[in-house]
Amino acid sequence: MPSLDLLLVTIIGLAAGVLAGRVVSEHGYGVPGDIVVGIVGALIGGWVFGVVVGVVAWGLVGELITAFVGAVILLWLLRLVVPAKG
């Protein structure tokens, strides 16, 4: 993987993780946590859009939307498994 692709994946993962963290739990998970949430979310979102819906995202905006939706799904599932402290 060229270094530019790795940088792009990291930036999209960070942006998607930050946005999803704010939507689902009203806070982020720090830079490393947001990157992981965003990248794993991108994998989940790619599967959901590709296999379930039958749509493939193109371009930077499409990839960001796919990663964001997947990250929201990931955080929602994690909240079902691990309830919030409070």
Q: What is the pLDDT of residue 86?
A: 52
**Segments in the chain below pLDDT 50:** none
Q: Between vectors from CA 42 to CA 41 and to CA 47, what angle results, nearest 5°?
A: 100
What would the pLDDT profile of 9-26 be if each residue is shown by its tens digit? 888 888 998 889 888 887
Give the H/E segment covering residue 8.
Answer: helix 3-25
In three-state secondary structure terms, 29 is coil
> How far apart (Å, rounded) are the C-alpha atoms in residues 45 and 75?
12
Residue 11 in contact with residue 63, Cβ under 8 Å?
A: no
Residue carrying structure tokens 């995202």: 57
Give me 70's structure tokens: 């997947």
Q: What is the pLDDT of residue 1?
A: 55
pTM: 0.83
